[in-house]
Structure 1
Amino acid sequence: MVKSYNEYSNHNMRRPIVKPEIVGLMRGEQKALTGFLAEVETFAHAENIPVIPHETVVYFQFLLQALQPKKILEVGTAIGFSALLMAQASPDAKITTIERNPEMAALARENLAKYDTAQQIEVIEGDAIDVLSALPDGYDFAFMDSAKSKYIVFLPEILKRLSVGGVVVIDDVFQGGDVAKPIEEVKRNQRGIYRGLHKLFDATLTHPDLTATLVPLGDGLLMIRKNANQIDLV
């Protein structure tokens, strides 16, 4: 059994914020995964390890095939599912993915040893803020799916390393709809995440040098395009 996520699972991420019948349609009618990606996804579901839901999977396939990034940065590897998905959709890309949980990093490396045959993906184990500060620039796509309260901490470091015109996608920003509530109605143990996400929204959604949009897939995506070389987040 994989212990990490079974002990500390955030169940808010399991509450999609659109109508259940629409979620069912998106998950049931769109093209299913096959091969090793289906195997990794099945393992994640069996072990209660959160991976991006199928509607987000299909969207990522479309988005990455359209953008064709060459240098991708990911914060939050888990077992390597999203990194493998991005590699398949962007066969010319090199991917750097950061994971602080040793159990997840070990599982990710096992999966990459089996399935990353083109050796597109590098896993770096460590705390994201420390790893990011040592990375070079020149990334043209980034994906964050990690500690939700830390998104606002990690984002400035990612933007420094993102080329102008690059895109950042941030997962699970709606917290099952909690972000739309007054903070008094949010469980006390979720309020740190709530505050962090609202700081993220305040810093990005109306920033003059960013194009940002909220997308209601899964538990919500925040998508950001970097439009200037120097980005100062308040």
Structure 2
Amino acid sequence: MLHQIKSYLQFLWNSKNQHGVHSPFVFALVTQCFYDKQSKPEYAVLKNYRNTLLKNKNTIEVTDFGAGSRVFKSNTRAINQIAKNAGISSKRAQLLFRITQYFQPENILEIGTSLGLATVALSLGNPKATITTLEGCPETAKIAQQQFQKFQFTNIISEVTEFENFFNQEPATDNRQLIYFDGNHSQKATLHYFEQLLPTVTNETVWIFDDIHWSAEMEAAWEIIKTHPKVSVTIDTFQWGLVFFRAEQEKEHFTIRA
């Protein structure tokens, strides 16, 4: 926790809003998407989806393949507490919806479904997209699948699998215009997924890495990603790291309050 406080203070010191951005591409993204304050009808769906989980006091046995939890001391967890403490926040879900709506990716991959709070934001952002979401824990995935069915999200493909198994079966040329990485908050796993999925990128690809300041090793992974030759633009919003591979773009790194 102390590490995150120090990192956040440093982020605030270095961060800018739209007035400090001189890239037309990033300026448009920040002003038209990040800072879009208009109410959206989809926000009500996101709220209802979250509220049904917050009312669910049933417990499940969670299988955790990642870096563990700083909140839960046991793998037996109440669904409402997972939604409250481990799921994407309402503000971030709305931003993820806006990013998806802004770029309109047709093929989306989410690494780490949890209860599907982020998944439905991706789905609402482009209902015509195909969303493949991966979850290693069968019990957690089951709750998400029930929620998707209840709210009639028909463009979501839920895969219950360890991530490595999925990548080993996935064609390296299968392009995903947007990938949301939220499955394993360790440096080794993050960089491994990054390298495995690099062959799929195009000029329009958007990658979003969750919790880039979660630990010193996640920050180290983020710094390595930023310097990769294929990466042209990155945006650090503290919670997320956005990565772009635009060949025509000068290599730049932005720290933006979102």
**TM-score scaled by structure 1?**
0.70
Please say if 1:64 is aligned against 2:100: yes
Q: Does the residue aligned with 1:163 lie in a helix, a strand or coil? A: coil
What aligned pairs does 1:31-50 form with structure 2 within 5 A after superposition?
31=39, 33-35=43-45, 37-42=46-51, 43=53, 46-49=80-83, 50=86
Which of the numbers 115, 120, 129 marks the counterpart of 2:164? 129
Structure 1 residues 80 and 14, CA gap change in structure 2 (3 angstroms): farther
Give the match for residue 203 of structure 1.
Answer: 224
Give the match for residue 177 of structure 2.
Answer: 140
Which of the numbers 239, 245, 248 marks the counterpart of 1:226? 245
In the TM superposition, what is the alpha-carbon distance from 1:102 to its structure 2 partner?
1.1
Q: Does the residue aligned with 1:222 lie in a helix, a strand or coil? A: strand
Contact (CA 8 Å) 2:123, 2:156: kept in 1 or not? yes
CA distance in structure 2 between the aligned counterparts of 1:14 and 1:101, rounded to whole angstroms: 30
Contact (CA 8 Å) 1:98, 1:128: kept in 2 or not? yes
Amino acid of the residue matched to residue 229 of structure 2?
Answer: P
Which of the numbers 215, 221, 234 marks the counterpart of 2:236? 215
Structure 1 residues 123 and 94, CA gap change in structure 2 (3 angstroms): same
CA distance in structure 2 between the aligned counterparts of 1:198 and 1:107, rounded to whole angstroms: 31
Q: Does the residue aligned with 1:224 lie in a helix, a strand or coil? A: strand
In the TM superposition, what is the alpha-carbon distance from 1:199 to its structure 2 partner?
4.1
In the TM superposition, what is the alpha-carbon distance from 1:15 to its structure 2 partner?
11
In the TM superposition, what is the alpha-carbon distance from 1:14 to its structure 2 partner?
11
CA distance in structure 2 between the aligned counterparts of 1:102 and 1:15, rounded to whole angstroms: 36
In the TM superposition, what is the alpha-carbon distance from 1:163 to its structure 2 partner?
3.1
Amino acid of the residue matched to residue 44 of structure 2?
Answer: T
Identity %: 20
Please say if 1:90 is aligned against 2:126: yes
Q: Deviations over 1:125-184 (max 9, x none)?
A: 111111022123121110011111021121222222333320100111112xxx5xxxxx
CA distance in structure 1 between the aligned counterparts of 2:116 and 2:4, rounded to whole angstroms: 18
Please say if 1:155 is aligned against 2:194: yes
Contact (CA 8 Å) 1:96, 1:122: kept in 2 or not? yes
Q: Does the residue aligned with 1:223 lie in a helix, a strand or coil? A: strand
Contact (CA 8 Å) 2:212, 2:222: kept in 1 or not? no
Amino acid of the residue matched to residue 65 of structure 1?
Answer: Q
Q: Which protein, 1 or 2, shows the higher relative CO under an 8 Å CA cutoff with sep ≥ 6?
A: 1
CA distance in structure 2 between the aligned counterparts of 1:221 and 1:144, rounded to whole angstroms: 10
**TM-score scaled by structure 2?**
0.64
In the TM superposition, what is the alpha-carbon distance from 1:34 to its structure 2 partner?
1.2
CA distance in structure 1 between the aligned counterparts of 2:244 and 2:181, rounded to whole angstroms: 14
Runs of 4+ in structure 1 off by over 4 angstroms are: 12-16, 29-32
CA distance in structure 2 between the aligned counterparts of 1:13 and 1:112, rounded to whole angstroms: 33
Contact (CA 8 Å) 2:213, 2:219: kept in 1 or not? no
Structure 1 residues 200 and 156, CA gap change in structure 2 (3 angstroms): same
In the TM superposition, what is the alpha-carbon distance from 1:227 to its structure 2 partner?
4.2
